[in-house]
Amino acid sequence: MTDKNHTIHSIKDLPSTHLLGTGTPMCAGCGALDAVHQIYDILGKKTVFVNAAGCMTLLSVYPFTPFRGSWLYTAMASAPAGAQGVRDALDILLQQKRIDQDEDLEVIVLTGDGAAYGMGLSATSGTMERKLDYIYICYDNEGYGNTGQQYSGATPHAARTSTSQGVSGFAGYKKNLFDIWAAHKPAYVATVIGADPLDLAKKIEKARSIEGPRMILVLSPCPTGWDYDPRETVNIGQLAVKTGVWPLKEYVDGEVVHTRIPRQRAPVEEYLKLQGRFAHLFKPQRNEALLAEIQAKVDAYWEKVPIQGK
């Protein structure tokens, strides 16, 4: 393995920001892990990752963790509260000059959608109200993945989950967490996806340069829960953007700006038909009404988006 500047013979030769491999049995093609890798390459080891129970917890098997900085495990609802405690402790140590400024760490919450959209939402709301200085990263695989993809507040309409098995799939609608977060007027909110590394990197760099609550929502294609060939993760991620299903945008200074506008949107079914969780929309016969409803919702979203320069 080589990078631009040197040959990598062993772990010690890796850049200090790089998330180490663990040998942990994560699923092949995991879109969440892809995004976490990219984010960690930017944020690096001067961080404390406060990680609520979910798939990414499996990266760490006590007493080992691939995070080169610090990592803390919490119960599902408690990562934002854990982040408050860590930030307060660091501030006290700084105040008492028991650590130097260059020993300070960036506090990062890492949770799935089950925690972010549901169980941990009230604790998250509290951190934004208290203007906690931290970054919240939610990898959104649209279900409780670690326990077998039960539906969550992030599950899209009509998706099949282990708890939504009927001919029409999940009867509810995906919660709009971006708007819920933005309504708190935090310092920064952004949506990203691993399949657009440039957009992701710009937003993580921007988040890093700002103080206060900074919220990052990552759509995370999940071959196991969404039921598709792991080789399709990048393709499905790109289709989520091209079809307009996953708008890439950011909220800063009270304004929402779209960072990618799919001017010629692909039909939503190109995204849906690759995923087994939507197979009942196509077989044994096409469910035209439900397909039209899903497309109409996406169209209605983009009709309200002002044309922007980017």
Ligand X SMILES: Cc1ncc(C[n+]2csc(CCOP(=O)(O)OP(=O)(O)O)c2C)c(N)n1
Nearer to Mg ion, 29 or 114 (CB): 114
Q: Find out whether 41 and 67 touch, Cβ atoms under 8 Å.
A: no
Of 84, 127, 141, 287, the one binding Mg ion (CB under 5 A) is 141
Of 30, 43, 80, 113, the one binding ligand X (CB under 6 A) is 113
Query: What are the tokens at 291?
Result: 């397909």
Give yes or no for residue 78 binding ligand X (CB under 6 A). no
Query: What are the tokens at 48?
Result: 């404390």
Q: In what order do the strands lie in the sheet with 47-52?
A: 70-74, 47-52, 106-112, 134-140, 213-219, 188-193, 249-252, 255-258
| Separation of alpha carbons 234 and 304, rounded Å | 28
Quick note: the x/- pattern for ligand SF4 over 201-240, rule CB under 6 A, is -------------------x-xxxx---------------
Give yes or no for residue 128 binding ligand X (CB under 6 A). no
Partner from ligand SF4, ligand X, Mg ion, none binding residue 30, C-beta < 5-8 Å depending on class: ligand SF4
Give yes or no for residue 150 binding ligand SF4 (CB under 6 A). no
Give yes or no for residue 154 binding ligand SF4 (CB under 6 A). no
CB 254, min distance to ligand X, A: 29
- H-run or E-run covering 48: strand 47-52
Of 127, 141, 164, 191, the one binding ligand SF4 (CB under 6 A) is 141
Query: 2 - beta bridge partners?
Result: 7
Please report, as a single letter, which amino acid is at residue 54. G
| Separation of alpha carbons 276 and 280, rounded Å | 8
Interacting residues toward ligand SF4 by CB under 6 A? 26-27, 30, 32-33, 55, 141, 145, 220, 222-225
